[in-house]
A and B are shown apart, each in its own frame.
Chain A
Amino acid sequence: MKKLAPSSPRGVGIGLRLEHHDVILETTRRIDWLEIVPENFVETGGQPRELLRTCAKRWQVIGHGVSTNLGGRGPLNVDYIQGLKRLLDEIDAPYYTDHLCYASIDGVAYHDLLPLPYTDEAVHHCAARIRELSDRLERPVAVENISYYATMPGSSMTHGSFVRAVCESADCGLLLDVNNVYVNACNHRGDASEWLHALPLERTMQMHIAGHILEGERIIDNHGEPICDGVWSLFREALGVTGRVPVLLEWDTNIPSLDRVLDEADAARAIYDEVLGPDAGSDAA
C-alpha cells in the first residue's frame, strides 16, 4: 500500500472555491490545508492561477480531480494527465485523489461521477488504470468511494467489496468520503456503520465530509448544506478506525461565506481533536 508521504497535510482543510478568491488571503482564521479541483487550474492562467500560487506558499494544497475517468473506456487522457502532473508539481502536492467511477464514454464527457457495475472485470480494469495514473503522476493516488443512486446492471458484488478489491488490486489509498457512505446507506436501505466498515478503512489516506439534500425519497450528494448529525456521528466512528488522516470539508454548491465554511471546519476539528486528541503539528494558521 502507498503510505502517506511525510509532507501530507494535517488537520481539517477546505476547498479553494472561486466564491472565496477575494477573501481567502485576508482571513486570519485557521485553515489547515486546501483542496483544489485541478480541472479548474490545468491549462489556465490569470487571477485564479496566480491566487493558487500564492495559496500554495501559505498552505499545503492537494488536487482532487473529477475527470481522469478511472473507470472509463479507452486510454487515459495522457495530454491532460501531463498538464495535471505539471500543476501538482508546481503546488508540490504529495499525492493525488480522484473518484472510483467513470465520467466519460468514447470522448463524450458527462461531467458527473458515474458508477460502474461491481464486477471482477471492472475491478481489474480500474486497478490497472489507477496504477498507470499513479506512475504517470509520479505520486501516490487515493480513490474516493462515490455516492451512487442505482446499482448498475450485472453487478456481482457489493459496493464495499468492489472498493476494497480495487484498492487492494491497485495497491492504492482510499479517500474515504463519509457523507457518501451515509448517502449510499440511506438510499440503498442499509446500515451506515456496516457500509463504512465494508470499505478498506486501513487504506484511508484522506477523508471527506460534506452536506447533502433530500429530494423526495432520495438523498442527493450536493455538497451544498450543513453537515447533518448522522454524518457527524459516522465521521466520529470513522476517525476512531482511521486515526489521524487529513480531513476535508467539502462545500461546493450553495456556497456560503468563507466564515460560514470555516465554522463548519472548526466543528469538524473539534470532533477530530476530541476523538484523536489535539495534534501539535496541525495548528497552522
Chain B
Amino acid sequence: MSLDAFFDAMAPMLSGRTDAGTVVNAIGPSDSGAESLGFYNELIRRNHAKLLGDIFIHLHGLMERESPGTWETLIAGYRLAHPAAHWDPNLYAEHFSSYLREQREAGAALHPIYEELADFAFVRQRAFFGNQTEGDAYEQRIFVRQYTHPLSDYLPELHHNPDAPIPAARPQVVIVYRHARDHSLHNLLPTAAGLAAVARRQGMTQLPPMFASLREEDIAAADQALVERGLFTERTS
C-alpha cells in the first residue's frame, strides 16, 4: 500500500464522510481493529466541536436554552460543509455565521440573532489576535459591522445572565477593535463622522454619498476622537 493510497482512504473518514469499515475495505485492516481506527474520526469531531464551543460559548448556551439539540446538529453539519482549511484552528470558525444564515434561509428554525452573534464573537476574537500593521492602511484589529440586533448591549448581558431574553430587532452599527496602544478589546458605536474617518483611514479617498453632508472639520474631529479612544494612532501620513 502506498502513502497516496493511505491518504486517499483516510481523508473521507477523517472528515466524517465515511467510516473505518470503508478504510479497511480500501487499504486493509488495522492490527488495532476497526473500532480503534475509527476513533480518529471521533477525535477530530471532538476537536472541532471544542473549537466552535470555545469561540461561540455564549451562542452555544443561547441555542441550548432556546432549542436544545440544535447546536450538535449544526456543528455536525458545519464540519461536513466547511472542512478546516487553515493551520490556525481558530479560523475553523470563520464561516459559521454564514453557515447559520444559509441554514435559516433554507428553512431551519434558527433565530437571525444566532448568525449575528456568531459573526460578533468571531470578529472579537480576530480583533484581539489580529496582526497589527504599521501606518494608516487596513488593520486586522478593526472590524466595522452592521447588525439588526443590538449585540454590543446583548452580549455582555448574556455573559452575566444566561437567561437574558433575546432583544427585539434594532439595527446597530458597531466597531469592534483592539486598542492601538494597550491592546484591550472594545466595541464602539460610531457617529457618521466617525465612520467617515474610519473609511478615510482605510484608504477610501472618495466617500460614499451618505457622508456628503459631513464637513471636513467634523471628520477630522471624529478622527481625533477615535485616536483618543485607541481605535487609531496619530496619523503617519
Taking Cβ atoms with an 8 Å cutoff, the residues of A that contact B are: 39, 42-48, 50, 67, 73, 77, 80, 102, 105-112, 114, 116-117, 119, 121-122, 125, 149-155, 188, 218
CB within 8 Å of A: which B13-70 residues: 14-15, 23-24, 27-33, 36-37, 39-40, 43-44, 47-48, 51
Q: When the two chains form their complex, are residues B28 and A153 in contact, meaning their CB atoms are under 8 A apart?
A: yes
Residues on B with beta carbons closer than 8 Å to the beta carbon of A45: 129-132, 140-141, 178
Q: When the two chains form their complex, are residues A105 and B178 in contact, meaning their CB atoms are under 8 A apart?
A: no
Q: How far is the CA of A117 from the CA of B1 in the complex (A)?
A: 9
Q: How far is the CA of A109 from the CA of B51 in the complex (A)?
A: 13
Q: When the two chains form their complex, are residues B36 and A149 in contact, meaning their CB atoms are under 8 A apart?
A: yes
Q: How far is the CA of A191 from the CA of B79 in the complex (A)?
A: 38
Partner of A109 from B24, B85, B129 at Cβ < 8 Å: B85
Taking Cβ atoms with an 8 Å cutoff, the residues of B that contact A are: 1-4, 6-7, 9-11, 14-15, 23-24, 27-33, 36-37, 39-40, 43-44, 47-48, 51, 83-89, 92, 128-132, 140-141, 178, 183-184
Q: When the two chains form their complex, are residues B87 and A105 in contact, meaning their CB atoms are under 8 A apart?
A: no
Given contacts A106-B11, A116-B3, whether A153 and B84 have CB atoms under 8 Å apart is no
Q: When the two chains form their complex, are residues A154 and B31 in contact, meaning their CB atoms are under 8 A apart?
A: no
Q: When the two chains form their complex, are residues A46 and B40 in contact, meaning their CB atoms are under 8 A apart?
A: no
Q: When the two chains form their complex, are residues B6 and A112 in contact, meaning their CB atoms are under 8 A apart?
A: no
Q: How far is the CA of A249 from the CA of B48 in the complex (A)?
A: 25
Residues on A with beta carbons closer than 8 Å to the beta carbon of B15: 108
Q: When the two chains form their complex, are residues B88 and A50 in contact, meaning their CB atoms are under 8 A apart?
A: no
Given contacts A106-B11, A108-B15, 4 further A-B contacts (CB under 8 A): A39-B89, A149-B32, A149-B40, A153-B1
Residues on A with beta carbons closer than 8 Å to the beta carbon of B27: 153-154
Q: When the two chains form their complex, are residues A111 and B84 in contact, meaning their CB atoms are under 8 A apart?
A: yes
By beta carbon, the residue of chain A nearest B44 is: A110
Q: When the two chains form their complex, are residues A109 and B40 in contact, meaning their CB atoms are under 8 A apart?
A: no
Q: When the two chains form their complex, are residues B178 and A108 in contact, meaning their CB atoms are under 8 A apart?
A: no
Given contacts A47-B183, A149-B39, whether A105 and B128 have CB atoms under 8 Å apart is no
What 3 A-B pairs have minimum CB-CB distances, sorted nearest first? A45-B132, A150-B36, A154-B1
By beta carbon, the residue of chain B nearest A105 is: B11
Q: How far is the CB of B138 from chain A (nearest CB, A)?
A: 14
Partner of B6 from A39, A43, A48, A152 at Cβ < 8 Å: A152
Residues on A with beta carbons closer than 8 Å to the beta carbon of B31: 151, 155
